[in-house]
Structure 1
Amino acid sequence: MTFFLFFFSLTARRCHPTGAVIAHFHTSSIVSAKQHYKMLVLGGGTGGIAMSARMKRVVGADNVAVVEPAEMHYYQPIWTLVGAGAKTLASSGRPTASIIPSGVKWVKSAVQEINPQTNTVRTEDGNEISYEYLIVALGLQLHYEKIKGLPEGFEHPKIGSNYSIKTVEKTWKALQDFKEGNAIFTFPNTPVKCAGAPQKIMYLTDAYLRKTGKRDKAKVIYNTSLPVLFGIKKYAETLWDIVKTRDLQVNLRHNLIEVRADKQEAVFENLDKPGETTVFEYEMLHVTPPMGPHFVVKGSPLADEAGWLDVNKDTLQHNKYPNVFGIGDCTNLPTAKTGAAVAAQSAILNRTINKVMKNEKPDKKYDGYTSCPLVTSYNTVVLAEFDYNGQPLETFPLNQAKERRLMYFMKADVMPHLYWHGLLRGFWGGPGPYRKLLHLGMK
């Protein structure tokens, strides 16, 4: 515990502002617009707020604006525990007004169109905003509608999803109401944010059913479109051991295509045998929806062929427009889409923008660091941390592939505190510096 408190005291330490940077940057001509900002941030999620806080210290609050329509901001990683009854939904949200950095302009509207040729953004309410520099942090979109029978199926009991504010509490209700039968958990055939979350709720369900004496009446099933249980071999081996020990059924390459909520049936396609489908009856169903790029990004010149924001994987600067930058789930960075990745990206992006504004070449590279705290029970976590190459990049000098109570405490209690008071205020850029310290500079 002394070791842990030492680590946390380091993470809680705040950095001091370095002062404003004055520089000249030649961009294409800026059209006349009612509002103009030196730094315009699109999106008030994790990446957008973290970067607006950092940019405030670089160019001054009056020169920064954040475009975000939502009145509430949610710490979504905790929804895994909300869906399992370990945390309340109320604890995950705060008013957006309370987390926008003081002095920074909040444009309370949705982004409708981005025009990088003219350095302008049009909002849903018809306003046009021009910018000198643009940070795109629009996240991704959930597509429940791509599964036949959804989202209307959520009106029925026995079905929930930890990925939406509207459905996360339905997961907990379905778990509480479970009597006997199949408890099914899905992973879609698309990129997703927090790729571990679809199976975390399976482990928690197993633990809850054991605690309530219902496990012997349940068949717990994980149907994933992936060809593996988890993408990083070191952690996958641990998870396979857990699956076997707890008698959990894993069906690889099974993709949910239809929910018949009135009959409590879920239809899966076999991705290895096109045209072959299997119908599963369920007593409880947790749906992880298909996900895709934000429509504004996808419909803009900023997108790659798949619709994701096309940025340099080392610097996070756009590959075509040098005054445009990206962070988080909206980008095409080849790493897992997690809050931990955003934290590490925010530190690199801050450095990149500072260099670009001075007409200097970015000198720090993002290594793809991301983290997935794999919750395996109500008091244990396997803390997966890895880089672009899928190689473990662990912070602590111990084997993180093992289930540990300390890591659960970090997930449930420390991380939310670090999120609200560190990351969103621009003071937390991931555990990189502490990793080197804890590994005596060897890693």
Structure 2
Amino acid sequence: MKSHYEILVIGGGTGGIMTAARFLQEDKSLKVGIIEPSDTHYYQPAWTLVGAGTYDYKKTARPMASVIPKRATWIRDYATGFKPGENIVTTQSSGDISYDYLVVAPGLAYDWSLVPGLGEAMDKGVVCSNYTDPEHTWEVLKKFKGGTALFTQPATTIKCGGAPQKIMYLAESYFRRAGVRDKTTVVFATPGTTIFGVPEVKKTLLEIVDRKDINLRFGYKLEKVDGPNQIAWYSFMDHEHEYNHKDIKLEKDGNLTGVHYDLLHTAPPSAAPKFIQESPLANEAGWLDVDKHTLQHPKYSNVFALGDVAGIPAAKTGAAIRKQVPVVIGNILQLRSNNILGSKTYHGYSSCPIVSDYGKMVLAEFDYDNKFTPDPKLKMMLIGDSSKEHWRLWMLKKYGLPYLYWNKMLKGKDV
């Protein structure tokens, strides 16, 4: 006989654990199951600091068993598919699992095939990523003796769109400390059109770029990486332009331009997990199809998604999940009791803590319209304008947010 849960959650990351914990706080009698194959739960936002040598990687990891809510059932398995018409999730080893309500939050997957050569070069030699091995990033920074330090990102969706530039700002500071900055050209090559979409934050970041003398190259689409010859190959998008030009060693190969690097940091090319892309729940782009305000599937009313896998135009961050979870909880509880959606809606809130130096940070909070929406609670920290660099924001990033994550968010408490 197949297992059945009133609430079935796919994913033991931030979204899945928060959702399960919140449901059980609302109703301890609910039968909640969490499908998650991993043994370890990571607090990934701190990996930026690990990569800059200012946070202990071990402190970012805890056993999955320690964060699964005590009244929830941990199904240590891989979800492999959906039969939404029958309210069933298929798994690798545990058979079919049925549900009354399904919350899909497995995160995203790295797809190295989207940038040929990058997978073979990643986390070896001078190629690094805080997304995959922040300890290797720190080793690369320490060994760097000068040259072109290239910070880049693929044209795909990535976790926390600001992360590729956070490590750049910290690395530039470290190069000064290490005495190699005068022998170094720092380059940021991005497929985007601007350094940041929120005007108030953009203004601050350009001031930081000027202070740090960084070359910005917009409209650079990363096509492939030649690890042995240390060349990143790009095509140009229609908005290609530069800010603070620097002469660097370039190659041409047809329509591609190659940038020679002595250090390369990038985010991995990312996509929805295959079992999501190939499912009847996916939209045309392969993400889980949900309404951007209610987070409910348009066809299957008892299916919801949140976090990185949701096909909505919001930044893929833990901060976004913090605002999405109460919406999903409220909607499902109202559906269970009154067969109507709850009144809470999600307006695209996300935040990106942009570490700009050792001891300084900018906090970008924004919605679907890229409107700057700072949390009023920041006034309690004596922070008048979080779009500007502040040492108190650094303290929040390094000490406050990890504490809130482990002790509040993952336990289903309001933050």
Cross-structure match for 2:311: 332
Q: 1:390-421, CA deviations, whole angstroms, 9 ceiling, x for partnerless residues?
A: 10110134221110000011011100110111
Cross-structure match for 2:5: 37
Give the counterpart of 1:258 among 224, 230, 233: 224
Q: What's the offset of the Cα at 1:239? A: 0.7
Cross-structure match for 1:440: none
Matched, 1:204 2:183: no
Matched, 1:172 2:138: yes
Give the counterpart of 1:158 among 123, 126, 131: 126
Q: What's the offset of the Cα at 1:309? A: 1.1
Residue 340 to residue 84, structure 1, CA distance change in 2 (3 Å): same
Aligned residue runs from structure 1 range 50-199, under 5 A:
50-60=18-28, 63-125=31-93, 127-154=95-122, 156-164=124-132, 167-199=133-165
Matched, 1:386 2:352: no
Letter in 1 for 2:51: G
Cross-structure match for 1:349: 328
Q: 1:107-126, CA deviations, whole angstroms, 9 ceiling, x for partnerless residues?
A: 00111111111111111115
Q: What's the offset of the Cα at 1:258? A: 1.8
Query: Distance between the aligned counterparts of 1:86 and 1:284, measured in 2?
Result: 20
Query: Distance between the aligned counterparts of 2:7 and 2:90, measured in 1?
Result: 15
- RMSD between superposed Cα atoms in Å: 1.6
Cross-structure match for 1:424: 410
Q: Is the contact between residue 156 and residue 261 of structure 1 (CA under 8 Å) also seen in structure 2?
A: no
Query: Distance between the aligned counterparts of 1:403 and 1:90, measured in 2?
Result: 28
Q: 1:311-366, CA deviations, whole angstroms, 9 ceiling, x for partnerless residues?
A: 12222121111111111111012211110000011122211111111123321111
Q: For this pair of structures, how many residues does the alignment match?
A: 395
- Percentage of matched positions with identical amino acids: 41
Q: What's the offset of the Cα at 1:150? A: 2.5
Gap regions ≥5 residues in structure 1: 1-32, 431-443
Q: 1:59-88, CA deviations, whole angstroms, 9 ceiling, x for partnerless residues?
A: 436611100000000011111111111112
Query: Distance between the aligned counterparts of 1:60 and 1:275, measured in 2?
Result: 63
Query: Distance between the aligned counterparts of 2:72 and 2:13, measured in 1?
Result: 15
Q: What's the offset of the Cα at 1:260? A: 1.8
Letter in 2 for 1:247: D
Q: Is the contact between residue 314 and residue 367 of structure 1 (CA under 8 Å) also seen in structure 2?
A: yes
Give the structure-2-normalised TM-score.
0.92
Query: Distance between the aligned counterparts of 1:46 and 1:61, measured in 2?
Result: 22
Query: Distance between the aligned counterparts of 2:255 and 2:51, measured in 1?
Result: 32
Give the counterpart of 1:410 among 376, 379, 396: 396
Q: What's the offset of the Cα at 1:155? A: 5.8
Q: 1:266-317, CA deviations, whole angstroms, 9 ceiling, x for partnerless residues?
A: 2222123896322222111102121111211111111111111111222212
Cross-structure match for 1:16: none
Q: Is the contact between residue 269 and residue 275 of structure 1 (CA under 8 Å) also seen in structure 2?
A: no
Cross-structure match for 1:286: 265
Q: 1:159-197, CA deviations, whole angstroms, 9 ceiling, x for partnerless residues?
A: 111111xx3222111100000100001121112110100
Q: Is the contact between residue 62 and residue 105 of structure 1 (CA under 8 Å) also seen in structure 2?
A: no
Q: 1:226-261, CA deviations, whole angstroms, 9 ceiling, x for partnerless residues?
A: 111111111011111111121100100112222222
Give the structure-1-normalised TM-score.
0.86
Cross-structure match for 1:232: 198
Gap regions ≥5 residues in structure 2: 241-252
